[in-house]
Structure 1
Amino acid sequence: MDLKLEVVVVPVSDVDRAKDFYIEQLGFRLDADFRVEDGYRIVQATPPGSECSIIFGDGMTPTAPGTYQGLHLIVTDIEAARAELSARGVAVSEPFRDATGAFHRAGAAKRVPGLHPERLSYGSFASFEDPDGNQWFLQEISQRAPGR
């Protein structure tokens, strides 16, 4: 049985502001914008190259806006991705890695400034937030681990 992650619902406070950020600043593809009825609006957007989309809108989730932490966008070159997003007006952190070389921890604990010294896949990160404070990470993966 295949199980594919298709959509992640992201809690936002202002749908039009979020739409501008995700479409105009991040360059996500706008898949849908349905105003179903008063208080119920569905906006679906997909990151370039991704098979998984995000949905946000009015009446979509009881989760408080800005509470999502740890959404990841995978890039093959984190420096190029940071430069492009910065040029689009997105405030992206400097690259960092975990002191252990493994996946980053919550918060800034054991965070070391700079790229992974050998630029190993899965080891370098940068972060940014959407207008509500939902936290996203860029993770550099230039070569996937076997079976992925």
Structure 2
Amino acid sequence: MDMRLEVVVVPVTDVDRAKDFYQALGWREDADVATGEDFRVVQMTPPGSACSVIFGTGVTSDAPGSAHGLHLVVDDIEAARTELVERGAKVGEVFHDAGGVFHHAGTGGRVPGPDPERTSYGSFASFDDPDGNAWFLQEITTRLPGR
């Protein structure tokens, strides 16, 4: 049976501020529905993604800014970083991990610049939304077998 990740809930403080931020990044608004002052759900989808994010009022009890390690896969890490910066995101510099497998938690092990061999899965850049939910861009040009 196929199981596809469809939605990730992102906890935010200010729904309209979050919506403005993600729209500025070029994400599509799929829904903005309120059934009262205590419940509102906004669904946004990054360009080309089959998975969306949901945030709002009354949709999660998680602390705003507590979503970390969210990854957006891109074909060209430098072009994606440039586009997000032009759209107003504060994206860190491109880096690769000293271990060469996957980035460490926090900022330890980060080596400036893309992976020297531009190995697929090996180059990253990071940014936060206004609440501190932490996103990564990850460059993938060739998928591992079975993907």
Calculate the TM-score normalised by the size of structure 2.
Answer: 0.98
Alignment match, 1:63: 62
Report the CA distance between 1:64 and its aligned residue. Answer: 0.3
Give the fraction of aligned pairs with identical amino acids, expressed as a percent.
Answer: 67
Deviation per CA, 1:15-39: give whole Å up to 9, x if none: 000000011x211110000011121
Deviation per CA, 1:4-62: give whole Å up to 9, x if none: 11100000000000000011x21111000001112100000111100000000000100
Alignment match, 1:42: 41
Query: Which sections of structure 2, spanning at least 5 residues, go unmatched?
Result: none
Report the CA distance between 1:128 and its aligned residue. Answer: 0.2
Equivalent AA in structure 2 for residue 110 of structure 1: G
Calculate the TM-score normalised by the size of structure 1.
Answer: 0.97
Q: Does 1:15 align with 2:39?
A: no
Which residues of 2 match residues 26-105 of structure 1 at below 5 A?
A: 26-105=25-104
Query: Which sections of structure 1, spanning at least 5 residues, go unmatched?
Result: none
CA contact (8 A) 1:96 1:113 kept: yes
Which contiguous aligned blocks of 4+ residues in structure 1 show a shift greater than 3 angstroms?
Answer: none
Pairs aligned (count): 147
> In the aligned structure 1, how far is the partner of 2:25 from the partner of 2:101?
27
Secondary structure (helix, strand or coil) at the match of 1:31 reads strand
Q: Does 1:3 align with 2:11?
A: no
Secondary structure (helix, strand or coil) at the match of 2:59 reads coil
Equivalent AA in structure 1 for residue 13 of structure 2: S
> In the aligned structure 2, how far is the partner of 1:70 from the partner of 1:50?
17
> In the aligned structure 2, how far is the partner of 1:100 from the partner of 1:13?
36
Secondary structure (helix, strand or coil) at the match of 1:32 reads strand
Secondary structure (helix, strand or coil) at the match of 1:79 reads helix
Q: CA RMSD, aligned part only?
A: 0.6
